[in-house]
Structure 1
Amino acid sequence: MHTYLKFQTNIAREKPSTLLNRETNCPFCDRETIFKEGVIISQQAPFLLIENKFQTLERAYQMVLIETETCEGDLSTYGKEHLHSLFDFAIHNWLAIEKSGKYRSVIFFKNHGIHSGGSIYHAHMQIVGLYDVDYRTHLLPEHFQGIVIDRSPGVEFNLSTRPRGGFTEFNVVLSDLKSLYKMGDYVQIAVHFLLNHMNKRYKSYNIFFYEYQGHIIAKIVLRAPGSPYLMGYSILQIPNNLDDTVQRVQSLYFSGAVK
C-alpha cells in the first residue's frame, strides 16, 4: 500500500535550479535577503533553519536547513567541528519539531547531486512536517539491519542486507544521543566512500533520517538512474558483493578492525 502526497506543479515551476545551471544566483548564499524576509525558524551560525519559500506539497510545511554560508564545501569534506555542530543543530531541531505536536510526523533528509531529487547545489537539508502522514507506516526493523562495518558505544555503522530501495545503503543506528558526534563521523565516512570510491560517475546520494523504535537512524543511499525492476515491479536488487564492500570501507577508514 502506497502513501501519496499532492505535489503542486505550478509552484515547482518557479523554483530556481543551481544544480543544472551554476550561473543562477544561489538563494542560500544571499543571507541578507533571507534575514530581511523574516523566514528564519532557528539559527546557530553558520547554520540556518528557514521556511521553504516554495511550498510544493499540500498538507505539509517545508523547511530548509542551510549548512554553510557559501556554496563551497560538502558534508564529505567538513572539518570535525563543523560536522559535529551541524549534527547537533540539525538533529535537535528535527526532534523538537517532531515533539511539538503540530504534525503527524516530521521527515528529515538530505539531497546531493543531480540524481538525488534536489535542485540547489548549496549544501542543505530539508525538514518537512506532514499533517496527515506517518512516515513510519512502511518501515520495518530489517530495513536498518546489515553487516557491521564498525560500532562504538551507542551507535552502529552497517551495510544494509535488506535495503529499502535496492543496491547500496549504509545505516547508522544511534541508540544513545551522547554518541551523536560519532554518528556524524560514520555518516561522513559513508558519504565520502560513495562519492570517492563506490561510484564516481553519478556523484549523488541521499541521507534519510528516521526516529524509529527508540533509535535515531541515518540511511545513506547511493543515487543513480532508477532500476526498472524497482520502478515497474517493486522488485529490489541486492549486490552479491556486500562483504567486499564492507571490507573496502574497513580497510579505507578503520584499518580493517570492527570494534
Structure 2
Amino acid sequence: MVHTDNDCPFCQRESLTDILAEDDDRIWLVNKYRTLEETYQTVVIEAAEHNGDITTYTREKNRAVFKFAMEAWKKTIDSGKYKSVLMYKNFGPYSGGSLRHPHMQIVGLNKIDAYRNIPQESFDGAFFYERYGLKINISDYPIAGFTEFNIIISNVSNTEYFADAVQVVAKYILNDFFNGKCTSYNLFFYRIDEKTVAKIIPRFIVSPYFIGYKIPQVTDHKHNSELGKDLSAKLLHEMGDNS
C-alpha cells in the first residue's frame, strides 16, 4: 500500500471536496484521480479509522456501510447516464489497491458494458447456504481461477443480512481460508436478472497460466464441498438459523 497514515488523503477529511453524500463518518465523493477515460469515478469512504475493514467493523457498523454504499451505487445506476456501473472493493497487498484506508469505488462507464465479458456460469455452483433470502455458493467456473464465493440476494432492499454474510465470508477468507495465509481479497458487486451478487475473491499472486494464457486453475468439487461445509457452519454460528 502506497500511503502511510500521515499522508492518507481520506484521513484528512477537512480537505475533501466534491462530496456527494455523507452519513456519520461515511462519505461518498468524486474521485480526484481518474484512472480510466470516459468514466465517472467516485469513492465511498467507509469509516474514519484508517485501518478499518469489513472484517473488523461491528455488525451494526458494517450494515451501515453497506446501506450507504449500495444506495450510492443504486443512485448512480438510476441516473441512466452510464452504459454500466461498477462497484468494488480492494483489500490487502495483492488486491490491486493503492490506499489502505477502507473504501469502495463506484465507477460509471460511459461506453462500455462491464458485464459483456463476464460469463454467467461464473456465478453458478452448488449452494451451501440458503437463508434470509440469501444463497451462497462457490463458483464452478471462476473468472480468474481457484476459489470465488458468490453471495446472491433477490431483495436488494434488505441489505442487512447481505452485509452480514459478506462480513462472515470476508473474515473466513482472511482467518481460515488457506490456513490463514490469505491477506487480500477483492469484493465485486453485480446486478444480474434482478438479483444482486457480491463476488468475494481471495487474492494471491496471480497464476502465470492466467496472465500468459488466460487459463484459470480451478479447485475441485471435493475441496469446494469441504470449504462450503466449513463456511456454512460459520455462517450459521454468526448469523443464526431461522430454518
Residues 152-231 of structure 1: pairs in structure 2 closer than 5 A: 152-199=131-178, 200-231=180-211
- TM-superposition CA deviations, 1:199-234 (whole Å, max 9, x none): 433411000001111111100001110111111111
Counterparts of 2:162 and 2:95, CA distance in 1: 22
CA distance in 2, matches of 1:120, 1:153: 34
Residue type of the alignment partner of 1:28: F
> Residue 176 of structure 1 aligns to a residue in which SS?
coil
Assess, with a 3 A threshold, how the Cα gap between structure 1 residues 250 and 233 changes in structure 2: closer, same or farther.
Answer: same
Work out the CA distance in 2 between the residues paired with 1:206 and 1:24. 25
Task: Name the structure 1 match of 2:119.
Answer: 140
Rounded to whole Å, the distance in 1 between the matches of 2:3 and 2:57 is 24
Question: Contact (CA 8 Å) 2:89, 2:105: kept in 1 or not?
Answer: yes
**Greater shift in the superposed pair: 38-47 or 163-172:** 38-47
Identity of aligned residues (%): 36
Answer yes or no: is the 8 Å Cα contact 2:154–2:194 preserved in 1: yes
| 1:65 aligned counterpart, secondary structure | strand
Q: Distance in 1 between matches of 2:2 and 2:183?
A: 14
Counterparts of 2:132 and 2:15 in 1: how far apart (Å)? 43
User: Is the 2:23–2:68 Cα contact (8 Å) retained in structure 1?
Assistant: yes
Are the equivalent residues in 1 in contact too, given 2:173–2:182 (CA < 8 A)?
A: no
Q: Are residues 55 and 21 of structure 1, via their aligned partners in 2, closer, same or farther at CA, if it must alter by over 3 Å?
A: closer
Does the 8 Å contact 1:250/1:257 carry over to 2? no
Look up the match of 1:22: 4
Query: Residue 89 of structure 1 aligns to which amino acid in structure 2?
Result: F
Does the 8 Å CA contact 2:165/2:235 hold for their aligned counterparts?
no
3-state SS, counterpart of residue 143 of structure 2: coil
Cα RMSD after superposing both structures:
1.9
Structure 2, gaps ≥5 residues long: none
Code of the aligned partner of 2:101: H
The separation in 2 between residues aligned to 1:87 and 1:252, in whole angstroms, is 21
Q: Any unmatched runs of 5+ in structure 1?
A: 1-18
Deviation, 1:258, is 10
Partner residue, 2:19: 40
Q: Distance in 1 between matches of 2:160 and 2:5?
A: 35
Q: Is the partner of 1:93 in helix, strand or coil?
A: helix
Take 1:24 and 1:106, find their aligned partners in 2: how far apart are those partners? 32
Work out the CA distance in 1 between the residues paired with 2:182 and 2:136. 23
Answer whether contact 2:186 2:203 (CA < 8 A) is retained: yes
Change (3 A) 1:257 1:164: farther
Q: Which amino acid aligns with 2:197?
A: I
TM-score by length of 1: 0.86
- Find the aligned partners of 2:5 and 2:186 in 1 and give their Cα distance: 24
Letter of the 1:216 counterpart = T
